[in-house]
Amino acid sequence: MEKIHSNENKFRQNLKLAEDGNVNARNNLGYCYHDGIGTTKDEEKAFQWYLKSAEGGNITGQKILGDCYHNGIGTTKDEEKAFQWYLKSAEGGNNYALTLLENYYEIKKTKDEEKIFHRYLKSAKEGNADGQNKLGYCYLLGIGTTKDDENAFRRYIKSAEEGNSGGQYSLANSYFYGIDTTKDEKKALRWYLKSS
């Protein structure tokens, strides 16, 4: 019961800050509506708050807005808009968006998402740590397969533990952004350092 009230209080605090123009609070409201934290789950409202955050210059909001367009969360799927928001976020310094862009370029060259997915799946099954990492991206973004954050996280762990710097970086991002795990900046920092 205490956690419910805490979530509702956080939601109200972020709502007040967001209405006052705080782009970080706008991004936080997107999370709240997306996951139903302190409010009713509503992907369209989540999208609108992510959009306001992104337009205000929040690079995390820009990356998440790219995810919304890529996966059709609260809006119509639009790969071109997804790409543009990932690009804007990467240009602002979001390394996670930069990594996503690299995978986008590879997919654009191949023009066959299922072929990319099966290539990475085969590579991962053969024990290739980089293949594990790239397979994680496929699961994270729903490239050639169903979006599955949990499976992406597992792939990143396997790749990271095998010493792949890309996998270590992906795992750090998972901890930093709380993708299918609890946000943990200490673990994120540890994996970021290992990846460099």
Verify that 89 and 122 share a domain, yes or no. no
Verify that 13 and 90 share a domain, yes or no. yes
Would you place residue 103 in the very low, low, confident or very high pLDDT band (cuts 50, 70, 90)? low
DSSP state letter for 74? S
Is position 107 within any domain? no
Number of domains forming the structure of the chain: 2
Q: What is the pTM of this model?
A: 0.61
Verify that 63 and 146 share a domain, yes or no. no
Verify that 89 and 164 share a domain, yes or no. no
Mean per-residue pLDDT, 156-164: 93
Is position 175 within any domain? yes
CA-wise closest residue to 173 among 69, 64, 71, 78: 64
Verify that 1 and 81 share a domain, yes or no. yes
Verify that 125 and 62 share a domain, yes or no. no
Is position 41 within any domain? yes
CA-wise closest residue to 132 among 144, 120, 150: 120
Q: Is the pLDDT of residue 4 over 50?
A: yes
Verify that 3 and 86 share a domain, yes or no. yes
Q: Could you tell me what percent of the chain has a pLDDT over 70?
A: 90
pLDDT, tens digit (0-9, with 9 covering 90-100), for 141-156: 888 899 898 999 999 9
Dist CA 150 CA 139 (whole Å): 8
Q: Domain containing 46: what range?
A: 1-94
How many Cβ atoms sit within 10 Å of the Cβ of residue 42? 15
Dist CA 122 CA 134 (whole Å): 11
Verify that 62 and 126 share a domain, yes or no. no
Verify that 74 and 123 share a domain, yes or no. no
CA-wise closest residue to 61 among 76, 43, 46, 80: 46
Is position 106 within any domain? no
Supply the pLDDT for residue 155. Answer: 95
Supply the pLDDT for residue 22. Answer: 92
Which of 43, 66, 94 corresponds to the end of one domain? 94
CA-wise closest residue to 173 among 190, 143, 129: 190
Verify that 86 and 123 share a domain, yes or no. no
**142 Cβ contact list (under 8 Å, min separation 6):** 70, 71, 148
Is position 150 within any domain? yes
Would you place residue 1 in the very low, low, confident or very high pLDDT band (cuts 50, 70, 90)? very low
Is position 122 within any domain? yes
Burial 52-63 (b: 16+ CB within 10 A, else e): bbbebebbbbbb
The alpha carbon of 178 is separated from its chain's Cα centroid by a whole number of angstroms, namely: 9
Residue of 164 and 113 predicted with greater confidence: 164
Cα Dmax for the chain? 53
Q: What is the CATH number of the domain that holds 116?
A: 1.25.40.10
Is position 104 within any domain? no
